[in-house]
Structures are given as structure tokens and as C-alpha cells.
């Protein structure tokens, strides 16, 4: 009798638990779908009077968290600020810029969930990504390179096409997929962020770290024993990302981008962030 | 579901590495944990100090830091992959908790058991092996079960050091397909495939041992 | 020949003086009962004999080995000196039979078939042959104590120590345990030291009675002497209390 009661209780508890899980999943899926339905980003930022930008926190020169102030600083952040000012002017709605640190892995989902309105985060424009989100015109010209120890004897990515080499990349970057095309035999080690990648390179977990040249220049300045070998082997300019089908927002941002390129603000920022990087022809980055 | 189909070999590989890492870490941490538990209760002061320091160090440092320590620092001197660093860190970290659990189990065994065994002519080691530890493990089994389940889940630490585990592969799939939501649901289900049977097995074991008492 | 010999033994627990200048000799084959009020040091004294308690000063010779000498291998002494506890201390994770067989197998490396045969004989002797496969938790208190005695006997010791073996038992269980102990005492080669409150047992079985109070041995007399005319006032008082209870 007692045992039967216990069993009955167990069955009921299991059913309740299963129901909670199923309902929870349904609710979560519904929420995700609702977020996926386009909310008009431009209308939202105008209504709230602020644009929330996703920016990197671990990438020197583009978006690096200042550990004292907790605020990210870099080219991406300055561009986002300039764009916010310009968009405010264009729409006649005063807007402030807010910043949320994002990782390579999280930024797509954060855009979809509208946790962030837009993302200026060293994001290469690719056809795969275009299917899911919208990009503006390019705001920075980049290409993939490898960072190696100066005495490693590696001169280009082609030298690394052997199973004895490991190339360190960051999860979710274009470098993670592109490297396999240029050195298919090399092993890949994907880490969570650039800082870990650099540490892993130093401790010999791999012989090269590969990502966009502009990011690698940041590491090369900090670590004089390392240099960029063989120039760029891909061409992958950066774009500013918004949720899918955000034509009005893309239009405004492209217009703002064109304006700051014309009025010299863009070139000032290029000079501010890249003129002191050794080995980089920063003038080639300027808007013509 | 298409996501699962398209990436099934990837998930399966991750599942395999997670399973392998968990098994190695589980066996290793049981041996180490039991060893350090005994060190903490022997009469020799120096052994107690070593056991205690070991437990306090590994129990109170985040697993991620221990993992990075092996991955980034130790590997400068001893070559080890992300998988190895993560598994070793997981083993040491878990062993500290198991040491505490087993020690509590040993202390919960009636002191008369040890006295009876010693008076009967058994050495300290024999008394431990045949009398005290079997009873201590039975007492500690529910908490040991928790540690084992935590261990399986904590093996996701491998993802941070390229350890090829389930979480790592999940990150890769999510990054390539941009379908973060579904990917992590699939990853969660794979973890459940490991942890649920483990929970049930431990419950079963508890019932069986209770009957044997 | 003396089996157990205390010479000026002192024992402290912190500041508490538990054994005061104990001098005592027990010969091989003797049955000695140790009595006294609670807290008098009887249990402490008996536990020093197989090293469960260490002594601070003096000499304690057991089977010719000095227990106070750090070089003495305690396990060798324990092979020859068995102990029966107030709370039995049977191995809770082993069957009755395994309780009896474990130490001979591990310590004496006794042949498995012979070990089992001997163990069954001992269980037969203490009346527990039918409980061989049971776990200790399935035995009554009296059965547990008889199993514990069988376990000690399996090591074929020269001496057996009994630390209040019947104090934790229900009254109706006491008789069976005492009967078993009486049987063992009949074996003239076995040295027995028994801490007990069972005066009838002491009268019937003991060769000598030791009376202790506050850590000191106050009286050491033959059984007959002790019960007929105890020399010590405190022993007289103790006896009258116990017997009128």
C-alpha cells in the first residue's frame, strides 16, 4: 500500500517535471521566434533615444576593455560613437550610444534577441552571415594573416600545411573556417578569445595564431618576439551588423558612414588608432 | 533536427571526448581523492598538512584557472594538449571534493570499527581497505554521486582550451550555423544522456547497498 | 611465566591522571577479573594491554614485549592478544562468518579451507552456526557479542581481554555470553583479563580479583579472599553496593 503510493507520487512528479520542461522549451522557442520576427531597429532606437552597440572587449586597437574604467576603447567604439552622432543629426532624434561587450560566439544571438541594436565588432562580411543578419557597407578593410614567433622559420600560411603544425584561432571567427582552406593538413585549436589565443601561442600550444591582420598587429606591438608572416591571404572587410531585414537602419548607417568618411572624422580615427602600429601602412586604410 | 543530422559526426566526436575525459577524471579523482582523504586522518602530522593543503588549494581555486594553468603554464615545460590539460585539471579539482566527501564518510564510520579491526590484529592499511573504506563509501555514496555528475558537467571546461569535447563542438557548430539556440539544446540533451543514467545508477546502488546492510 | 606485567605504569589524559603507579602481574593461564566504580581506570588499564591506549611512564610487558618501546611491533602483540568490547565492534560490512575469517586470512595467512572449517567450529561453539551468513545488523546483542568472541578466538590468541562484555546487553542475553566465557576460562592455557560488574561470574570463574579506584589498584586478592573479607574499605563499600543492587 505504502509502496504503491510512493510509486504513484513518483509517476506524478515525473509527469509534472516533464510538463514543466516541455512548456519551458515551448516558451523559450516562442520567445526566440518572436525576437526573430523583425522589430524595426530604427523605430526602436528612435523611440528609446539610444543605440546599444555590441563591441569587442578583448581586441587591442578595436575594442579592448580598460580594466580600470570598465569601458571598452578602440577604433570600433569611436566609429560607433561617430555614427550615433551622425544618425542623430540625420533623423533629428537625439540619441546616445551605449556599449555592451560581446564575444565572437555570442554577438549573433544577442542581435537576434535584440539585446544589442547593432554590432561594431571586427565582423567580417560573409555570405553565410548575410543570410542571418544585415551588414552595412564595409567600415574597415581587413584580411587574414598569421602571427608567428620571429625565429620559427614560418614565412607564410603555406609553410604550415603539415600535421605537425597547430594554428590557433578564435571560435566563430572567419579565420577558423578560412585557415582550413589554406593549410588543410594543419591542426586547428579554437579558443574562446584572443587573449587566451595569444597565451596559448606563447606556451607552445600552437605555432601560429591566425586572424585578421589588424588584430594581429595589436598583438605584435605588445609582443616584440612575434611578427606577422606572409601578409594577408584573404580579403575580408568588416561591416557593421544589424538584425535581418533592417533596411531603414542600414540605409541610415550607410549614409552616416559615408558622411564621416567625407568630413574627415573617419580618417582622424584611423590615424588615432593605427598610425603608431609598426609595420602597418596606415595611410592605405584611409578613406579616399 | 536538420542541425543534428548535418552535424551528427561532430556532436558524436564531442560526446566521445566528453565521455573519455569524464571516465579518466572520475577514476583518477577517486584514487587521488581517497588517498588524500586518508592522508588527512592518519596520525602523522606532516601527512595531514599535505592532505589539507592539497584539498584547500584545489577546492578553492576555480576549475578554469587550474585548467589554464596546465594549458598555458605547465605546457611550456611538459607538452600537453588542451584535452590533457583539461582532463588533468578536472581530475585534480574533483579529487579535492572527493577527498572531503570520503573523509567525512570515514569519520562517520563508528570509531569502534577501527578499534575492533586493530585489536583483531589487522594493520591500519588492512583495516582501512577491508573495513573502514567500504563503509565510508557507502555512507558517502549520495554525495559522491553528486560529485560524479558535477564532474561530467564540469568537463565542459575542455571547450575553453580546445579540448574537442561536446561543449567545444557545440561552440563550433553554433559559430558555423549561427543557430545558437538549437545547438545548445542538442548539447544539453547529449549531457543528459550521460548524467541521467549516472544518477539512476547511483540511486540504484544506494538502494542495493542499503539492503545489504 | 607472566603473560602481562605492569611496572610502575603511569597514564595521563592531558592533566587527568588516569593510571597511577600501576604494578600488576598476570600469569599465563590465569583468569583475572578487574572491578571498580566507573571512572576508576579499569577500561583504560585493559586497553593499554593491546596498545589501544599508550602509557606515558613505566614498563608494560605483554608476552615478553615491552609496549612502551617504540620499536615494538604492535601488530605482533595484537596477534596474540584478542579483545572483546562492550559495544562488540563487529565489522558491519561483513557477514558473521567473514567477521571470524577475515583476520586469520589477512594476518595469519591461514589456508582458506582450514580457515573456514575453524571459523565454523568456533561459531558452533558459541552457538551461532546458523547465523554464519547473517550480517551483524541482523543479530541480537548477545549474538553479536558471541560472534565477537568467536572472532577473537579465531586468531588463537594467548590472552583475551574483555572490556565490560555484558554491560550493553539486555539482561536475558547476559547468560549466554557468560557461558561462552566460562568455557574459554576452562581452557587452562588461556590468559583472561575481564572488566565486568558480574560478581557471580567473578566468583565462579576468576582466580584473582583486582579492585581499582581513581586510577589506582587498591586490592589484588584471590577470589575467595576478596569476596569473603575484602581488605579495603572502599572495596567493601563497592561490594555491598553492587550486591544489594
Q: How far is CA C235 from CA C30, C162, C167, C200, C242, in A?
A: 22, 21, 20, 16, 10
Q: In the structure grid, which three cell numbers stand for residue C63, read together?
A: 608476552
Which candidate, B51, B29, B32, places its Cα nearest to that of B41?
B51
Inspect the interface and report whether the beta carbons of B180 and A204 lie closer than 8 Å. no
Inspect the interface and report whether the beta carbons of C152 and B120 lie closer than 8 Å. yes
Q: Which residue of B has its CA nearest to A31?
A: B181
Interface probe with A: pick from B76, B158, B162, most Cβ of A within 10 Å: B162
Query: Residue A217: which domain range?
Result: 144-229
Q: Are residues A46 and A70 in the same domain?
A: yes
Q: In the structure grid, which three cell numbers stand for residue A16, read together?
A: 509534472
Q: Which residue of B has its CA nearest to A198?
A: B72
Q: Are residues A162 and A109 in the same domain?
A: no
Query: Residue B189: which domain range?
Result: 2-212
Task: Please check whether residue B68 is in contact with residue B158, taking contact to mean a CB–CB distance below 8 angstroms.
Answer: no
Residues of C in contact with B127 (CB under 8 A): none
Q: Are residues A63 and A127 in the same domain?
A: yes
The CATH number of the domain where A107 resides is what? 3.40.190.10
Q: Which residue of B has its CA nearest to C136?
A: B213
Of B71, B81, B162, the CB nearest to A190: B162
Q: Are residues A150 and A189 in the same domain?
A: yes
Say how far apart CA A253 and CA A245 lie, in whole Å. Answer: 14
Instruction: Please state the separation of Cα A215 from the chain's center in Å.
Output: 12
Which candidate, B133, B134, B115, B121, places its Cα nearest to that of C103?
B121
Predicted ipTM?
A: 0.87
Inspect the interface and report whether the beta carbons of C102 and B121 lie closer than 8 Å. no
Q: Are residues A263 and A136 in the same domain?
A: yes
What is the torsional sign of CA A44, A46, A47, A50?
positive
- Beta strand pairing call for C65-66 and A238-243: unpaired
pLDDT, position B2:
78
Nearest chain B CA: its distance from A261 CA (Å): 31
Mean pLDDT of B14-36: 95
Share of chain C above pLDDT 90, in %: 63
Interchain touch B–C (≥3 Cβ pairs closer than 8 Å): yes
φ/ψ of residue A147, rounded to 5: -105, 125
Q: Are residues A254 and A136 in the same domain?
A: yes
Inspect the interface and report whether the beta carbons of B118 and C91 lie closer than 8 Å. no
Which candidate, C123, C1, C94, C9, places its Cα nearest to that of C59?
C9
The CATH number of the domain where B78 resides is what? 1.10.3720.10
- Beta strand pairing call for A208-212 and A144-149: antiparallel
pLDDT, position A90:
92
Say how far apart CA A223 and CA B202 lie, in whole Å. Answer: 51
Q: Where are the alpha helices (DSSP H) in C39-109?
A: 42-49, 74-80, 96-103
Q: Which residues of C touch B (CB under 8 A)?
A: 50, 52, 75, 78-79, 82-83, 85, 87-94, 102-103, 106-108, 135, 137, 148, 151-152, 155
Nearest chain B CA: its distance from C94 CA (Å): 8
Interface probe with B: pick from C51, C89, C141, most Cβ of B within 10 Å: C89
Say how far apart CA C115 and CA C112 lie, in whole Å. Answer: 5
pLDDT, position C244:
60
Q: Are residues A58 and A134 in the same domain?
A: yes
Mean pLDDT of C149-161: 94
Q: Are residues A225 and A263 in the same domain?
A: no
Q: Is A33 part of any domain?
A: no
Share of chain B above pLDDT 90, in %: 69
Say how far apart CA A74 and CA A85 lie, in whole Å. Answer: 17
Q: In the structure grid, which three cell numbers stand for residue C194, read together?
A: 575481564
Q: Which residue of A has its CA nearest to B161?
A: A191
As for how many domains chain B has, the answer is 1
Interchain touch C–A (≥3 Cβ pairs closer than 8 Å): no
pLDDT, position A37:
57
pLDDT band at C34 (very low <50, low <70, confident <90, very high): very high
Q: Is A62 part of any domain?
A: yes
pLDDT, position B36:
95
Residues of B in contact with C90 (CB under 8 A): 116
pLDDT band at B213 (very low <50, low <70, confident <90, very high): low
Say how far apart CA B134 and CA B128 lie, in whole Å. Answer: 8
Task: Please check whether residue B42 is in contact with residue B176, taking contact to mean a CB–CB distance below 8 angstroms.
Answer: no
Tens of pLDDT, residues B69-83: 999 888 888 888 889
Say how far apart CA A177 and CA C144 lie, in whole Å. Answer: 72
Task: Please check whether residue A240 is in contact with residue A249, taking contact to mean a CB–CB distance below 8 angstroms.
Answer: no
Q: Is A274 part of any domain?
A: yes
Mean pLDDT of B55-60: 95
Tens of pLDDT, residues C54-80: 888 999 999 888 888 888 888 888 889
As for how many domains chain A has, the answer is 2
pLDDT, position A35:
58
Q: Is the pTM of this model over 0.90?
A: no
Residues of B in contact with A129 (CB under 8 A): 178
Q: Are residues A69 and A133 in the same domain?
A: yes
pLDDT, position C38:
85
Q: In the structure grid, which three cell numbers stand for residue B29, read together?
A: 579523482
Q: In the structure grid, which three cell numbers stand for residue C150, read together?
A: 568467536
Q: Is A14 part of any domain?
A: no
Q: Are residues A56 and A126 in the same domain?
A: yes
Q: Which residue of A has its CA nearest to B168?
A: A190
pLDDT, position C101:
96
Task: Please check whether residue C191 is in contact with residue C160, taking contact to mean a CB–CB distance below 8 angstroms.
Answer: yes
Tens of pLDDT, residues C197-233: 888 899 989 999 999 999 999 999 999 999 888 888 8
Mean pLDDT of C146-161: 94
> Over 70: is that where the pLDDT of B211 sits?
no
Q: Is A4 part of any domain?
A: no
Tell me which residues of chain A have a pLDDT lower than 70: 1-3, 31-38
Torsion angle (degrees, nearest 10) of CA C175, C178, C182, C184: 130
Q: What is the DSSP letter of C155?
A: T
Q: Are residues A55 and A120 in the same domain?
A: yes
pLDDT, position C139:
93
Which residues touch B31 (CB under 8 Å, ≥6 apart)? none
Tens of pLDDT, residues C6-22: 999 999 998 899 999 99
Q: Is A252 part of any domain?
A: yes
Tens of pLDDT, residues B174-202: 877 777 788 888 999 999 999 999 999 99
Interface probe with B: pick from C100, C106, C134, C156, most Cβ of B within 10 Å: C106
Residues of B in contact with C89 (CB under 8 A): 110, 112-113, 115-116, 119
Q: Are residues A134 and A267 in the same domain?
A: yes
Amino acid at each position: 500500500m505504502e509502496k504503491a503510493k510512493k510509486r504513484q507520487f513518483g509517476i506524478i512528479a515525473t509527469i509534472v517535471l516533464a510538463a514543466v520542461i516541455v512548456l519551458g522549451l515551448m516558451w523559450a522557442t516562442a520567445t526566440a521566434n518572436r525576437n526573430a520576427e523583425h522589430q524595426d531597429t530604427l523605430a526602436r532606437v528612435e523611440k528609446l533615444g539610444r543605440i546599444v552597440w555590441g563591441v569587442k572587449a578583448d581586441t587591442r586597437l578595436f575594442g579592448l576593455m580598460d580594466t580600470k574604467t570598465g569601458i571598452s576603447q578602440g577604433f570600433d567604439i569611436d566609429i560607433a560613437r561617430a555614427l550615433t552622432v551622425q544618425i542623430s543629426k540625420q533623423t533629428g532624434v537625439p540619441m546616445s550610444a551605449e556599449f555592451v561587450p560581446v564575444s565572437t560566439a555570442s554577438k549573433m544571438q544577442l542581435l537576434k534577441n535584440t539585446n544589442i541594436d547593432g554590432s561594431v565588432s571586427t565582423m567580417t562580411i560573409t555570405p553565410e552571415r548575410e543570410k542571418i543578419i544585415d551588414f552595412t557597407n564595409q567600415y574597415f578593410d581587413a584580411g587574414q594573416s598569421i602571427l608567428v614567433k620571429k625565429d620559427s622559420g614560418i614565412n607564410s600560411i603555406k609553410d604550415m600545411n603539415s600535421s605537425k603544425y597547430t594554428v590557433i584561432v578564435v571560435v566563430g571567427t572567419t579565420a577558423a573556417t578560412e585557415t582550413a582552406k589554406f593549410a588543410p593538413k594543419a591542426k586547428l585549436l579554437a579558443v574562446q578569445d584572443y587573449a587566451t589565443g595569444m597565451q596559448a601561442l606563447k606556451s607552445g600550444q600552437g605555432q601560429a595564431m591566425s586572424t585578421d591582420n589588424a588584430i594581429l598587429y595589436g598583438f605584435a606591438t605588445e609582443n616584440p618576439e612575434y611578427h606577422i608572416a606572409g601578409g594577408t591571404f584573404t580579403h575580408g572587410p568588416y561591416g557593421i551588423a544589424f538584425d535581418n531585414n533592417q533596411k531603414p537602419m542600414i540605409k541610415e548607417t550607410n549614409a552616416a558612414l559615408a558622411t564621416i568618411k567625407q568630413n574627415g572624422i573617419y580618417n582622424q580615427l584611423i590615424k588615432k588608432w593605427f598610425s603608431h602600429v609598426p609595420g602597418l601602412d596606415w595611410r592605405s586604410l584611409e578613406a579616399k | 533536427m536538420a542541425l543534428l543530422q548535418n552535424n551528427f559526426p561532430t556532436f558524436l566526436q564531442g560526446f566521445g571526448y566528453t565521455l573519455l575525459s569524464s571516465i579518466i577524471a572520475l577514476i583518477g579523482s577517486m584514487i587521488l581523492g581517497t588517498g588524500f582523504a586518508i592522508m588527512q586522518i592518519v596520525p602523522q602530522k606532516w601527512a595531514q598538512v599535505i592532505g589539507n593543503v592539497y584539498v584547500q588549494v584545489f577546492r578553492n581555486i576555480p576549475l578554469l584557472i587550474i585548467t589554464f594553468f596546465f594549458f598555458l603554464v605547465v605546457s611550456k615545460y611538459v607538452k600537453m594538449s588542451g584535452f590533457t590539460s583539461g582532463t588533468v585539471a578536472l581530475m585534480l579539482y574533483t579529487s579535492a571534493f572527493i577527498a572531503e566527501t570520503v573523509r567525512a564518510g570515514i569519520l562517520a564510520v563508528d570509531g569502534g570499527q577501527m578499534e575492533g579491526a586493530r585489536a583483531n590484529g589487522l594493520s591500519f592499511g588492512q583495516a582501512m581497505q577491508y573495513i573502514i573504506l567500504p563503509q565510508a563509501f557507502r555512507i558517502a555514496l549520495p554525495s559522491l554521486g553528486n560529485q560524479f555528475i558535477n564532474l561530467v558537467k564540469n568537463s565542459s571546461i575542455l571547450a575553453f582550451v580546445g579540448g574537442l569535447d561536446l561543449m567545444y563542438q557545440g561552440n563550433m557548430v553554433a559559430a558555423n550555423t549561427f543557430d545558437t539556440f538549437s545547438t545548445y539544446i542538442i548539447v544539453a540533451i547529449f549531457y543528459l544522456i550521460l548524467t541521467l543514467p549516472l544518477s539512476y545508477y547511483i540511486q540504484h546502488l544506494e538502494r542495493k547497498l542499503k539492503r545489504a546492510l | 611465566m607472566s603473560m602481562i606485567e605492569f611496572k610502575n605504569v603511569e597514564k595521563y589524559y592531558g592533566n587527568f591522571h588516569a593510571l597511577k603507579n600501576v604494578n600488576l602481574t598476570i600469569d599465563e593461564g590465569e583468569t583475572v577479573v578487574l572491578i571498580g566504580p566507573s571512572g576508576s581506570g579499569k577500561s583504560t588499564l585493559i586497553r593499554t594491554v593491546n596498545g589501544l591506549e599508550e602509557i606515558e611512564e613505566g614498563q608494560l610487558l605483554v608476552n615478553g614485549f615491552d609496549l612502551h618501546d617504540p620499536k615494538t611491533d604492535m601488530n605482533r602483540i595484537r596477534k596474540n592478544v584478542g579483545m572483546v568490547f562492550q559495544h562488540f565492534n563487529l565489522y558491519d560490512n561483513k557477514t558473521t562468518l567473514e567477521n571470524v575469517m577475515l583476520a586469520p586470512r589477512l594476518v595469519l595467512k591461514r589456508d582458506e579451507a582450514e580457515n573456514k572449517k575453524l571459523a565454523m567450529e568456533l561459531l558452533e561453539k558459541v552457538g551461532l552456526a546458523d547465523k554464519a551468513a547473517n550480517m551483524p545488523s541482523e543479530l541480537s546483542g548477545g549474538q553479536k557479542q558471541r560472534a565477537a568472541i568467536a572472532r577473537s578466538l579465531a586468531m588463537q590468541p594467548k590472552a583475551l581481554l574483555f572490556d565490560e562484555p555484558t554491560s550493553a546487553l539486555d539482561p536475558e542475553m547476559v547468560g549466554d555470553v557468560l557461558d561462552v566465557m566460562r568455557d574459554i576460562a576452562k581452557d587452562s592455557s588461556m590468559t583472561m583479563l575481564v572488566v565486568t560488574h558480574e560478581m557471580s561470574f567473578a566468583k565462579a570463574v576468576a582466580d584473582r580479583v583486582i579492585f581499582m579506584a581513581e586510577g589506582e589498584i587498591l586490592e589484588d586478592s584471590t577470589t575467595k579472599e576478596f569476596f569473603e573479607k575484602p581488605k579495603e574499605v572502599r572495596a567493601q563499600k563497592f561490594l555491598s553496593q553492587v550486591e544489594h543492587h
